[in-house]
Structure 1
Amino acid sequence: MEKIDRLLVIGDIHGKWERFKSVYDKVSFNAETDLIVFLGDYLDRGDAPVPVMEWVMEHYGQKNMVFLRGNHEQMFYDAFLESPSSEGHRVFSLDSSLSLWLGNGGQITYEGIRKTGKKEELIADWLSLVAKLPLCTEIVVNNQTYWFMHANCNPGLPLSEQDDVDLLWRRTLAERPNLHNGEQIIVLGHTPVQALGYEAKPQWLQNGRLVLMDTGSYLDSLSHLGPGKISCADLLSGEIYQSAV
């Protein structure tokens, strides 16, 4: 690809609008000289998911900005595309996709959407966007291959053969970094580094070949893992940008 000065990546946001804005402003992204990848999980859990959703929709498709899908976008998507009943109403059960989403931070997002007064429009627009979001991407800079995905992958398989559940949900590499012995640099979100015993900043493991970017965006000082932060890293220089707590 064209020469870039910074290859930036932002970990999970989870509806923490103020934290997201604080780190994004620090980064001072320049579309002419930088490329930035977002690893998904823009909504749920945090207290202000709607501004984050609106920001992502506004910036999707802009130059040198890549937005990936996370498992929380997938849960949202599945929840609102469930088959309706014969009466035209959504089927709801304890094991439904809607129940799964609401029980994993989606309730906060749903209430935020409802309070806007434009629920149907916002849901439809977000569904349309999520359908376009890729599960992974490969970027080559300075002859180095980088793989980006939300959760996990099999380093021995081409991206085209990866399992969707792996890409969105599993934590195998985060928990067992030694499984990655390839040449590509793999960049993941999804698993808060604090839950793995690290401090709240991006982690370069396996001699820099595995980068973990989820620093517990929605955690607070009352959590045994917190306080959390939203993090951005320049993969070329190793510089880290973080939100204010």
Structure 2
Amino acid sequence: MQAVRRLLVISDMHGQIDAFNALLEKASFNETEDLLFLLGDYIDRGQNPRAVVAKARELEKKGAIVLKGNHEAMMEQALIGRKPESVAHWAANGGANTLSSYGLDFETVYHNIESDSLKLPDELNDDLLWIKRLNVYAQTEHYIFVHAGVDPDKKLEDTDEETLLWIREPFFTAYRGDKTVIFGHTPTVNLQPSPDIYFGDNNIIGIDGGCVFGGRLNCLELPSKATYFV
């Protein structure tokens, strides 16, 4: 890994492009000196999912480590799997906002998803191919970066993708690994009274401040554990 001044970690932007850009600025992100980790959920619910995907792809080209979230997995299952029930499940979790940002409406996609007549925009198809190849975890000597968490009873490399993208318990209480797990997915207000970054006493750090629900978009700096938010 390249020698870097610090690691920065952000997760769960959910279409909040203005907050995402503001947070990068507030943390004084420098692509030549910092290594940025993005832990997924770029899409759904917020005002401009398409723009957040574009920003994540731009940052990846400049060296950022970009991981998949469960919302990207739902999008992939809906639009590549081409099943109405997958489209409905995704839309119920904010997917209609993502479709709208690409110029599509849920009803049209839902009713025509199994038909060859439904043509997705080229940009959306390209973004889907990008999402499909995203990794679901990354690790360094001291840290594991993942969207939702890890199975405390399995080796990381033996854990299925669904677990890494969706787990909550027993990860929160039963993890006892040597590496610190940095995760998003679960808003920290579900783990403590505030949307601040959650520092668990079992070597886990939750950073999802629930921005799209009126909370914060958090950034964790490592190894200092300094925090930034908007």
Q: CA deviation at 1:235?
A: 2.2
Q: 1:132 matched to which residue of 2?
A: 133
Q: CA 1:35/1:155 → structure 2, altered by over 3 Å: closer, same or farther?
A: farther
What do you get for the CA RMSD once the two structures are aligned? 1.8
Partner Cα distance (2:182, 2:54) in 1: 25
Contact residue 38 and residue 65 of structure 2 kept, 8 A = yes
Partner Cα distance (1:159, 1:17) in 2: 31
Contact residue 191 and residue 198 of structure 2 kept, 8 A = no
Q: 1:22 matched to which residue of 2?
A: 22
What SS does the aligned partner of 2:140 have? strand
Q: CA deviation at 1:32?
A: 2.7
Among 169, 181, 184, the residue aligned to 1:186: 181
Partner Cα distance (1:48, 1:128) in 2: 19
1:152 aligns with 2:149: yes
Contact residue 152 and residue 170 of structure 2 kept, 8 A = no
Partner Cα distance (2:218, 2:170) in 1: 19
Superposition pairs of residues 17-96 of structure 1, within 5 angstroms: 17-63=17-63, 65-83=64-82, 91-92=83-84, 96=85
Q: 1:223 matched to which residue of 2?
A: none
TM-score scaled by length of structure 1: 0.82
Q: 1:107 matched to which residue of 2?
A: 96
Partner Cα distance (1:237, 1:102) in 2: 39
Q: 2:109 matched to which residue of 1?
A: none
Letter in 2 for 1:139: T
Contact residue 156 and residue 182 of structure 1 kept, 8 A = no
Q: CA deviation at 1:26?
A: 1.1
Contact residue 197 and residue 205 of structure 2 kept, 8 A = yes
Q: CA deviation at 1:239?
A: 0.9
Q: CA offsets per residue over residues 72-94 of structure 1, 9 Å max, x none?
A: 000001111125xxxxxxx52xx
Q: CA offsets per residue over residues 186-216 of structure 1, 9 Å max, x none?
A: 1110000112333111111126x11001100
Partner Cα distance (1:57, 1:119) in 2: 19
What SS does the aligned partner of 2:100 have? helix
Runs ≥4 in structure 1, deviation > 3 angstroms?
none
Unmatched tracts of structure 2, length 5 or more: 105-118
1:170 aligns with 2:167: yes
Partner Cα distance (2:34, 2:135) in 1: 20
Structure number having the greater helix percentage: 2
- Give me the identity figure in percent: 31
Unmatched tracts of structure 1, length 5 or more: 84-90, 221-227
Partner Cα distance (2:168, 2:160) in 1: 13
What SS does the aligned partner of 1:234 have? strand
Superposition pairs of residues 227-242 of structure 1, within 5 angstroms: 228-242=215-229
Q: 1:122 matched to which residue of 2?
A: 123
Q: 2:195 matched to which residue of 1?
A: 200
Q: 1:88 matched to which residue of 2?
A: none
Q: CA deviation at 1:110?
A: 0.6
Q: Give the number of aligned pairs.
A: 216
What SS does the aligned partner of 1:241 have? strand
What SS does the aligned partner of 2:102 have? helix
Q: CA deviation at 1:61?
A: 3.1
